[in-house]
Amino acid sequence: MNLREIRDLVDGTADAAYALDPNGSIIAWNAAAGELFGLSVEDVLGRPCSEVTHGVDECGRECSENCTILKRASERIPLRSYDIKIKANAGERWCNASVVILDSATFEKPCTLHIIRPADVQKRLELLLKDFVVAETSLPSVNVSEMLANTNSPSGVSNLTNREREILRLLSEGKKTGEIAENLFISRTTANNHVQHILKKLGAHTRLEAVRRAEKAGLLR
């Protein structure tokens, strides 16, 4: 599929849609996307997707250049639809996004087609449920958000290496850095470096938070 065909595909979609090159820059933008975001195709072509959509997932993690969707697309791993809050023309708005991986003759790695559908009503109901759970339990709001968040959120899945998955499993068993190093016959420094990489990939601040997010994403199964 060449660039012209990708743009024809995007233009032929009634829902808001756009396409990204393998680096996450916008290469196609349809009229419905222009209406949703209040930006013309001239405004967005060549710009990073995160800079245009200002996407934020259900746990408050912002879209960035270190995009899990692009990493999975480069390996041709399909991604389920997910909910994301965008900066629309009428203000912040919850949408459901679907992603299609496109092979392109123009680029060495796959491009991605993103189809965005407003989902404000459903999301408001979910947020009301979260507020109810917070009010009726002693759980902090951030923990409730993690429990109720869509497991197919793009930042809920990460490309961990096999070694990082091993270490994550040991973390889930309560192992400390020294015990991890001993189990895997590596130095404490190497073990700690792996842990820091895991935290960064999962967008977690603590080891416990990383384990919880990994469990939610099915990385420990």
Residue range(s) of every CATH 3.30.450.20 domain in the chain: 3-120
What pLDDT is stored for residue 183 in this prediction?
Answer: 93
On the question of pLDDT at 85 being above 80, the answer is: yes
Tokens of 95: 């949408």
Q: For residue 27, give the 3-state DSSP assignment.
A: strand
Pick 3-120's CATH classification: 3.30.450.20, 3.40.309.10, 3.30.750.210, 3.20.20.370.
3.30.450.20
Contact predicate 202/214, CB 8 Å? yes
Contact predicate 180/167, CB 8 Å? yes
Pick 158-216's CATH classification: 3.30.930.10, 3.60.20.10, 1.10.510.10, 1.10.10.10.
1.10.10.10
What pLDDT is stored for residue 156 in this prediction?
Answer: 47
Question: pLDDT by residue (tens digit) across 133-192?
Answer: 556 565 555 554 555 554 445 544 457 888 998 999 999 999 999 999 999 999 999 999
Q: In whole angstroms, give the CA distance from residue 205 to residue 207.
A: 7
